[in-house]
């Protein structure tokens, strides 16, 4: 998983988001959540961002309260922050934080905490937070249009790496290749990666079999990291009836609030908002 995310962030710049293609109606409620939280914190509070990526959450916190001190950690190699107020530590698991007890005045995470080992991550979060410090974790909601789009994208990637397409391409069978691509495009509602991959495959169809095999191997290797990340989403994107999977371990050291839902203006859910306060 760490290598898959490292591959992803290698293509991104400082301050970029994991939701690279999400429309403004998705991004704006998330940003508003962090800016609102920032105004509730002490002005110079130290905040730890778990699964920070390129530091987008830290940037939004600072937009709401410019004197906060943000430290982000991530298991992947992430791009450094261009903002001196944000420190990003790569290759740092949330289950083993390199900080002293009670180092931070708040902990946040956006679509990162759920990928950790829940018991160990909860224990470490509690350890590094000062008594009375709040947590705010946003976790993917299964009804989110982001999740639905990722599910379709995962189906597209699985199809592009699948046996039917592989057989047609390696055989140099243009008719079978076209039929399989058309079927996949219908199933995935026109995910653009299908058309992009199809263009590349058709261009190499005239090559000899050994060259086609090398092209196929390169395509699968290029798609594999993203497929690994999307497969993990299937495992950790949970409904309300299973939210105690996350809140249960936290409840040992935190007074937990009832989970809320971040929504787009039309009412569709985006994320669960899990919050609580470190017991004194």
User: Are residue 151 and residue 199 in the same domain, yes or no?
Assistant: yes
Same-domain status, 259 and 137? yes
Q: Give the C-alpha separation, 190 to 208, whole Å.
A: 30
Note whether 200 and 265 are same-domain residues: no
**Residues 254 and 279: beta-carbon distance below 8 Å:** yes
Q: Look at residue 9 in the predicted model and tell me its pLDDT.
A: 60
Q: Which residues contact 48 (CB under 8 A, 6 or more apart)?
A: 71, 72, 73, 97, 99, 103, 104, 106, 107, 108, 125, 128, 129
In 3D space, the residue among 173, 231, 176, 223 whose CA is nearest the CA of residue 197 turns out to be 223
Q: How far is CA 276 from CA 114, 117, 159, 178, in A?
A: 16, 19, 41, 53
Provide the number of structural domains found in the chain: 2
State the pTM of this model: 0.84
**Whole-number pLDDT of residue 1:** 60
My answer on whether 157 and 50 are in the same domain is: no
Give the pLDDT confidence score for residue 19 in this predicted structure: 58
Mean pLDDT by 10 residues, the chain (280 residues): 66 62 84 96 96 94 97 92 93 96 97 90 97 96 84 87 92 91 85 85 89 91 81 72 87 96 92 94
- If asked whether residues 16 and 134 sit together in one domain, one would say yes
42 and 169 co-located in one domain: no
State the residue range of the domain holding 115: 2-142+238-278
Specify the CATH number for the domain of residue 51. 3.40.50.150
Residues 212 and 248 in one domain: no
- Return the DSSP state at 91: S
Per-residue tokens: 168: 């047609």
Q: How far apart are CA 25 and CA 23, in angstroms?
A: 6
Does 188 lie in the same domain as 104? no
């Amino acid at each position: 998983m760490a290598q898959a995310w490292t591959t992803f962030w290698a293509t991104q710049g400082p301050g970029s988001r994991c939701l690279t293609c999400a429309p403004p109606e998705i991004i704006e409620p998330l940003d508003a959540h962090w800016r609102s939280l920032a105004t509730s914190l002490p002005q110079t509070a130290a905040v730890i961002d778990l699964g920070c990526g390129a530091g987008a959450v830290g940037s939004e916190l600072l937009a709401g309260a410019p004197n906060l001190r943000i430290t982000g950690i991530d298991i992947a190699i992430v791009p450094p922050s261009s903002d001196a107020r944000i420190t990003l530590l790569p290759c740092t698991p949330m289950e083993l934080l390199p900080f002293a007890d009670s180092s931070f005045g708040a902990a946040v995470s956006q679509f990162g905490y759920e990928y950790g080992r829940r018991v160990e991550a909860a224990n470490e979060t509690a350890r590094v937070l000062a008594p009375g410090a709040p947590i705010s974790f946003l976790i993917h909601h299964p009804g989110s249009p982001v999740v639905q789009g990722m599910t379709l994208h995962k189906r597209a990637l699985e199809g592009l790496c699948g046996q039917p397409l592989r057989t047609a391409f390696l055989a140099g069978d243009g008719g079978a290749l076209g039929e399989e691509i058309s079927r996949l495009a219908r199933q995935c509602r026109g995910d653009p990666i299908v058309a992009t991959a199809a263009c590349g495959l058709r261009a190499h169809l005239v090559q000899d079999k050994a060259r086609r095999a090398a092209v196929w191997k390169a395509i699968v290797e290029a798609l594999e990291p993203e497929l690994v990340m999307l497969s993990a989403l299937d495992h950790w994107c949970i409904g309300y009836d299973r939210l105690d999977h996350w809140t249960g371990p936290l409840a040992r050291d935190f007074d937990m609030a009832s989970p809320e839902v971040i929504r787009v203006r039309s009412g569709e859910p985006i994320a669960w908002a899990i919050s609580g306060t470190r017991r004194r």
